[in-house]
């Protein structure tokens, strides 16, 4: 998905992310894996931001 963004636009988008980079797919998978695990069994109706700080 990111590969289709032109370089100039990608740099602009990256600058808007507080962590200064796009997420690695493994980071997204870790969040999904946690929410699908028994450790998150008591979490309901929450939308945790996995956005590198953009929602702060």
Whole-angstrom distance between the N-terminal and C-terminal Cα of the chain?
Answer: 24
- Alpha-carbon torsion 41, 45, 48, 28, what sign? positive
User: How far is Cα 50 from Cα 32, in angstroms, rounded to an integer?
Assistant: 10
Q: Give me the pLDDT at residue 21, please.
A: 94
pTM for this one?
0.70
Tokens of 32: 């999904």
Per-chain mean pLDDT for the chain: 93
Residue pair 18/52 in contact by the 8 Å Cβ criterion = yes
pLDDT top residue among 2 and 53 = 53
| DSSP alpha helix (H) spans, 1-56 | 7-15, 25-36
């Amino acid at each position: 998905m990111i590969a289709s963004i032109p370089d100039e636009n990608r740099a602009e988008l990256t600058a808007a992310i507080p962590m200064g980079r796009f997420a690695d797919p493994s980071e997204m998978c870790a969040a999904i894996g946690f929410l699908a695990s028994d450790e998150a069994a008591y979490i309901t109706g929450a939308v945790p931001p996995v956005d590198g700080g953009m929602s702060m």
